Structure formats: structure tokens, C-alpha cells
Amino acid sequence: MKILVGYKRVVDYNVRIQVKPDGSGVVTDGVKLSANPFDEIALEEALRLRDKGVATEVVVATIAPADAQAHLRNGLAMGANRAIHVVSEGGIQSLTAARAFLKLVEKEQPDLVILGKQAIDDDANQTGQMLATLWGRPQATFASKLDVAEGKATVTREVDAGLETLEVDLPAVVTTDLRLNEPRFIKLPDIMKAKSKPIDTIAFADLGVDAGDTLKTTSYAPPPKRSKGVMVKDAAELVAALKQKGLL
């Protein structure tokens, strides 16, 4: 059984995001870049399935600029067998990413694709669902528990009313939530082993994917600074203040 895992590189979650002065994007020069936390959870779950003997191979894949090799080596150090690097210098929207992953799916023929439910840079939460639709295979999103056996995946997911359990036939797409697991700590010997693991490099243009990006970002702006708090004497004064601001 082969598992394909999406492994996106994003600005580290501990970094304070700064918007460029001209509003054309966010500052990334000299900024720490790390694996998307949800994708680390996806990779950890794939590795656990391999450790249980359910899977035999785990492949990580990313769509990123040419300097993302170190990022993929991190995924290999966690334990992935090999990596695929689709080199793209420009920004990739969700539908384009799903189309690119579909090409990888057609090439690799995985039994299971695991993606993070969203990336923390755009919070789109779309790629997994779009991939499943394009592939014509079942999907189970926001997984907080995953069991694979006898050609089926059983996924427990959190919904507003509580917990929902889905059973889907493989191949399928599963997206991971935060409560699914805690990614393992990478040890120095694993980092050394990762240097000899293979990384396949593919130019985005060679996939034959039409970008077809229909969304255009006109400008970026930081959120407005929070105004100073106002103390009120009682509930009546609070209601009056809210009415004055047009909030009631």
C-alpha cells in the first residue's frame, strides 16, 4: 500500500507576519519557513500506518520554488521513503494545486492520499476536496481518527453536533485535523539518513496542468490596530455605546 502526502512549505506559525510597504504581499525575505502544521500531522499519520504494517511506502510531495529541497529533506527525516518536488516559482491556488496533485496521483497510483485540512498561509481548506472531485474518489475531511483495513478507511471527524464516523472505499482522500496526532520529533540520525533518500524533481510546466487561476489578489493590508478599550459604568451605558457605533 502506498500513501501520498501533501507537504506544503509556509511561513512558520511563530513568525509575526509583516505586509510589504507597497501592499503587494507579505515579507518572506529572511523569514523562517516551515512545514504546514496540518501537513506534518498528515505525514505523521501516514508514517504510523506504515509502522503498523498497513502501508509499505510513504511519499511526500510539494509544489514550491527550487529552494524547497531542505523542506522536503525535513519530511524525509521524519520518515518518508521518498519525495516529489514540483518546481513552481509563482503562487499556486487551490484548484491548480489539486490539478497538479491529480497528475502525481495518476503517476504514483497511491492507495491513499492524505493532506492537511488547510494551510496556515491562506486557510483555503479546498485542495483536498477538489482533488477528490477531480480524481472521482471518496473523501473524508477533518479526520481526528483514522483506521485503514480491508480496503477501507474509517474516519472519525468532529462536527458541530459531536463526532461523525465515515467509512470510505480506497483509494480515497483524507484531510487531517489537529487532534489526529502529534508529529514525532526528528532525531539527528534521521536527518543524516534523509540525505541519501531520493527526491524526484518535476517542472510544473511538464505536468501539463493549465493553471487557470481565476482569483487575483489586488493588494494586501494588515488588520487595523485595535482601539483602546472603554470602561462603562453599567449595562445601560454599554447598550448606548453600542447603539452609537451602529452595532445594535
Give the pLDDT score at 143.
94
CATH architecture for segment(s) 2-244: 3-Layer(aba) Sandwich (3.40)
Peptide bond into 171 cis (omega under 30): yes
Give the pLDDT score at 230.
82
212-248 confidence digits (pLDDT tens): 667 777 888 888 888 788 888 899 999 998 898 888 8
Angle between helices 94-108 and 127-135 (to 10 degrees): 50
Listed as ranges, residues in the chain with pLDDT below 70 are 212-213
Give the pLDDT score at 11.
87
pTM here? 0.84
Give the pLDDT score at 226.
81
- Residues whose CB falls within 8 Å of the CB of residue 15, separated by 6 or more in sequence, listed in order: 31, 32
In angstroms, what is the C-alpha Rg of the chain?
21
Q: What is the 3-state secondary structure (H, E, C) of the chain?
A: CEEEEECCEEECCCCCCCECCCCCCECCCCCCEEECHHHHHHHHHHHHHHHCCCCCEEEEEEEECHHHHHHHHHHHHHCCCEEEEEECCCCCCHHHHHHHHHHHHHHHCCCEEEEECCCCCCCCCCHHHHHHHHHCCCEEEEEEEEEEECCEEEEEEEECCEEEEEEEECCEEEEECHHHCCCCCCCHHHHHHHCCCCEEEEEHHHHCCCCCCCCCCCCCCCCCCCCCCCCCCCHHHHHHHHHHCCCC
Question: By percentage, how much of the chain surpasses pLDDT 90?
Answer: 67
Give the pLDDT score at 213.
67
